[in-house]
Chains A and B, each alone.
Chain A
């Protein structure tokens, strides 16, 4: 990362929410991550936000669901029906 970017990160106002959100989402650059991890060692506010953010993210990931095969079939059939000139499709006749 360029030096000015690292300075830019350091110059940011102390914002535990934003920093924790970016860190937990893995969106900080490598250098910014190193800086933030060093900062976490002595900043209770940021550390608490990171712990809550991690836990919340893990919980949210647990709620992931897969669409059923029947739903996939239903979507495929609806799109196919529409493409063949079904009533909801773009090529549907306007009048009787």
Chain B
């Protein structure tokens, strides 16, 4: 996964709206660029970018993330227009919508651990470096997040199929 995709996926899990996620991606790269030109250069770029993104999200976007989520009308329309036939698109939308909602319902630290390890392909060692926590803590958050996600989605699949 490339650096922009990594930061984008992390940003999407840390913010409610796509627009906020894109702003966070841009801010992350600008801050990284400034640090880079100030000769604050990391040994490993991806965990460093992830740390910048996490810190920015915590400081700048936390208050916004508490607001009820709203999807801009244009984004809503674009998402519904794209895709194949209406039936499979509807199924995909339900599944994706459930998936995103289930991830959003996880506590932030579990969401971040899952995003870094399962979505971005970090080892738990690198994720621990990016999150600034011991690896054992990352393993625990990761597993609890996976388990919660499996249960949440399992319950919803049962509800839908009843």
Residues of A near any B CB (own CB < 8 A):
17-18, 20-22, 24-25, 27, 49, 51-53, 55-57, 59-67, 71-72, 74-75, 78-79, 82-83, 88-91
Are B100 and A63 neighbours in the complex by a CB distance under 8 Å?
yes
Are B25 and A67 neighbours in the complex by a CB distance under 8 Å?
yes
CB of A53 to closest CB in B, whole Å: 5
Q: How far is it, in angstroms, between the C-alpha of A90 and the C-alpha of B153 when the chains are bound?
A: 46
* Per-position binary interface string of chain B over residues 85-127, scored 1 when its CB falls under 8 Å from any chain A CB and 0 otherwise: 0000000000110011011000000000011011100011000
- Across the two chains, which residue of chain B brings its CB closest to A83? B33
- Complex interface: chain A residues within 8 A of B41 (CB): none
Interface size class of B (residues with CB under 8 A): 35 or more
> Does any Cβ of A come within 8 Å of B62's Cβ?
no
- Complex interface: chain B residues within 8 A of A91 (CB): 37
Are B142 and A55 neighbours in the complex by a CB distance under 8 Å?
no
12 inter-chain pairs at a CB distance below 8 angstroms, sorted by A residue, are: A21-B124, A24-B146, A25-B142, A52-B150, A57-B118, A57-B146, A63-B96, A67-B5, A71-B4, A79-B29, A88-B30, A89-B34
Are B5 and A66 neighbours in the complex by a CB distance under 8 Å?
yes
* Per-position binary interface string of chain B over residues 1-45, scored 1 when its CB falls under 8 Å from any chain A CB and 0 otherwise: 100110111001100000000100110011001100110000000
Q: How far is it, in angstroms, between the C-alpha of A62 and the C-alpha of B114 when the chains are bound?
A: 12
B5, B29, B147: the one contacting A52 at CB < 8 Å is: B147
Task: Please give 12 more A-B residue pairs, beta carbons under 8 A apart, in addition to A53-B147, A64-B119, A83-B37.
Answer: A21-B124, A21-B140, A21-B146, A25-B142, A49-B143, A52-B146, A59-B99, A59-B149, A60-B146, A67-B7, A67-B8, A79-B33
- Complex interface: chain A residues within 8 A of B22 (CB): 71, 74
> Does any Cβ of A come within 8 Å of B56's Cβ?
no
- Complex interface: chain A residues within 8 A of B9 (CB): 64-65
- Complex interface: chain B residues within 8 A of A22 (CB): 124, 139
Are B136 and A56 neighbours in the complex by a CB distance under 8 Å?
no
> Does any Cβ of A come within 8 Å of B80's Cβ?
no
> Does any Cβ of A come within 8 Å of B151's Cβ?
yes
- Complex interface: chain A residues within 8 A of B4 (CB): 67, 71-72, 75
